[in-house]
Amino acid sequence: MANAAMRAGTPQEAPRRAFIHSDRFQMTAFIAPTCIFLAMLTIWPFIYSVYLSLHAVKLTAMKRAVFVGANNYVNLLSDPLFLRAMLNTGMLAVTSIICEIIIAFVVAKAFVSLSHLKFFNGLRSLFLLPMMVTPLIVGMIFSYVFNPVLGIANYVLGGIGLGPIPWFGDSMAAMFSILLINVWQWTPFMMLLIMAGLLSIRSDLYEAARVDGAKWHHVLRLLEIPSIKGIVLLGIILRIIDTLRFFDVVYVTTRGGPGDSTMVLTLYAYQQNFQFFQAGVGSAAAVIILVISMVITTFAVRLLRRIENE
């Protein structure tokens, strides 16, 4: 070996160059940095979070961690605020996604039926705006519009003899307002997906259905729903993932209040970690959120692959 290395010069450079030019080396160089970066951002934090969740530890004094076993999890699952956060997040996901799909379908049908009119195609961008706006600003907008004193919403409702509605003022109304904001912001997203699905239906199929005398509900059940099923399922999964990280809007509008009425999972974990510095409890909450999202992700990945291969 030493002899080979001492026989310097060209003969030995060739294999090295061959190695550098080999597919394996080049492709590894393309992929490795991304994988290392992502592992540092996902796998390592996961392991560290699990470790912290088994300890009593303050974010301000990480060195003084005391092993407490599953205590944090036990405390968490008996904390009414955390259970409320779970319930609220689940409810928000279910109700907002159902509302979004129904409204989005109706609007998508309307846009598709007017696709021969240029003006209405242009209006689509305007309809999509809420989903692109900074979520924090969405919170600001509705703090202003739903404000009990200077809000335009109650003023307009008053003008037609309704209200005033205590938008963020009492627990029932606050949850309803958060739901309303969510639906306002994300219906355009669903609409976009459903419209892409509807546009992929060949027009001769509609024609055939019409000739056969199919009613609208036949068309809906036998033609439209099967055609948009995959893409709507994808939308549902992405929206569930979004709801698990839902934070900005509640942070500015209600901070989880009044009481615990609008507490959601990410806000709960955030407050434990960065306001009360309870890194142990906060990490346990983070691990639970992560496990839920991992289960959903498994479905999401398979689904995305399938849609892509179609």
User: CB 254: neighbour CB atoms within 10 A?
Assistant: 25
Question: Which residue in the set 70, 74, 152, 222 belongs to the binding site for another protein (CB under 8 A)?
Answer: 152
Alpha carbon 5 to its chain's center: 56
Q: In the bound complex, what is the minimum distance in angstroms from residue 260's beta carbon to another protein?
A: 18
For another protein, give the closer residue by CB, 1 or 250: 250
CB-based burial label for 72 (10 Å; 0-12, 13-18, 19+): buried
Q: In this chain, which stretch among 69-77, 100-108, 167-175, 212-220 interacts with another protein, using CB under 8 A?
A: 100-108
Question: Which residue in the set 65, 81, 91, 140 belongs to the binding site for another protein (CB under 8 A)?
Answer: 140
**Coil vs helix vs strand at 286:** helix
Taking a C-beta distance cutoff of 8 angstroms, is the pair 139, 249 a contact?
yes
Q: In this chain, which stretch among 8-16, 143-151, 165-173, 211-219 interacts with another protein, using CB under 8 A?
A: 143-151
Total residues in contact with another protein, by rule CB under 8 A: 102
* Cβ partners under 8 Å of residue 60, min gap 6: 277
* Interacting residues with another protein between 25 and 54 (CB under 8 A): 26-27, 29-31, 33-35, 37-38, 40-42, 44-46, 48-49, 52
In angstroms, the Cα distances linking 27 to 37, 38, 152 are 16, 17, 58
Determine if 123 is a binding residue for another protein (CB under 8 A): yes
Q: Which residues pair with 66 in a beta bridge?
A: 56
State which amino acid sits at residue 50: V
For another protein, give the closer residue by CB, 149 or 211: 149
R_g of the chain computed on alpha carbons: 27
Determine if 297 is a binding residue for another protein (CB under 8 A): yes
* Cβ partners under 8 Å of residue 40, min gap 6: none
* Interacting residues with another protein between 184 and 203 (CB under 8 A): 184, 188-189, 192-193, 196
Q: In this chain, which stretch among 7-15, 93-101, 102-110, 207-215 interacts with another protein, using CB under 8 A?
A: 102-110
**Two structure tokens written together for 264:** 């959601």
Determine if 5 is a binding residue for another protein (CB under 8 A): no
Determine if 247 is a binding residue for another protein (CB under 8 A): yes
Q: In the bound complex, what is the minimum distance in angstroms from residue 2's beta carbon to another protein?
A: 32
Q: How many helices (H) and strands (E) does the chain have?
A: 15, 2
| DSSP symbol at 174 | H
Q: In this chain, which stretch among 75-83, 90-98, 182-190, 206-214 interacts with another protein, using CB under 8 A?
A: 182-190
Distance CA 286, CA 50 (A): 9
For another protein, give the closer residue by CB, 175 or 251: 251
Q: In the bound complex, what is the minimum distance in angstroms from residue 126's beta carbon to another protein?
A: 5
